[in-house]
Amino acid sequence: MRELSIFIDESGDFGPYERHSPYYVLSMVFHDQDEDIGAHLDKIHGALIDRGLPLDHAIHTGPLIRREQDYRWMDLKDRRSIFRVLVDFVRLCKIQHTSWVFSKRDLADSDRLITEMSRQLGAFVRQHYDFFASWDRIVVYYDNGQKEITNLVNSVLSALLGSAEVRRVSPADYSLFQAADLCCTLALLRAKIEAQGLSATERDFFSTEKLSAERSLRRGYFKTLDAKLF
């Protein structure tokens, strides 16, 4: 019985456009359950323990970059290494992903944003319907972090993929959900580079002695993600 897992995460809020929150990002990660990722999970768990984090810690890339929450006591080197561990996990696993970046400046209110998200998600599923129909079972994982996304997942995916099962997930339980978080963050950073530019915190996190943050992201991170595009 062939089973497809879909992990969904988001970045942003449904409030009005503000300079510090100009985008809303939706990402999906696809995994064939026949593809064993156990060895890659062991590497993530080992990296967490080595840095004093619990085995079931869920990596949150936004706070990791900004040195917030569980990472406020970590130095830059350790935070970068954890970020890289998650990037390598995505690079090595046989998964695919897709992301949408919505400009809140162009979609003036939450109703228009939700409508556009529904339209694009629906168009994506219809475009690739043969792929989705080829699976015996599809399980969609979301953490119910925002009710608007929960409603969107249930309405659009259930309508177009009647056999899809939607489950609530805890980020700590699935590294593939954390991979979706990474996809959101990198999609957001790419949009920021193309528009208003990175924040000082983001530039500090990704810049190296030889490369600017923008070049470092393009060479070491966006390239990895692009190789896994659905």
Average pLDDT of the chain is 92
All domains in the chain, ordered by first residue: 3-226 (3.30.420)
Per-residue confidence at 47, pLDDT binned at 50, 70, 90? confident
- Confidence grade of residue 174 (pLDDT, cut at 50, 70, 90): confident
Show the tokens assigned to 140: 């969609």
Name the pTM for this structure: 0.93
pLDDT-derived band at 21, boundaries 50, 70, 90: confident
Tens of pLDDT, residue by residue over 104-143, are: 989 978 999 999 999 999 999 999 999 999 999 999 999 9
Nearest CA among 204, 194, 206, 113 for reference residue 151: 113
89-101, pLDDT tens digit by residue?
A: 999 999 999 999 9
C-alpha distances (whole Å) from 190 to each of 35, 127, 207, 210, 221 are 29, 25, 15, 20, 10
1 pLDDT band, cuts 50/70/90, is: confident
Is residue 172 predicted with pLDDT exceeding 80? no
Most confident of 26-30, 76-80, 192-196: 26-30
* Residue 223 confidence (pLDDT): 93
Segment 151-169 shows an average pLDDT of 86
Nearest to 189 by CA among 87, 74, 75: 87
Closest CA to 178 of 66, 93, 107: 93
For residue 108, the model assigns a pLDDT of 78
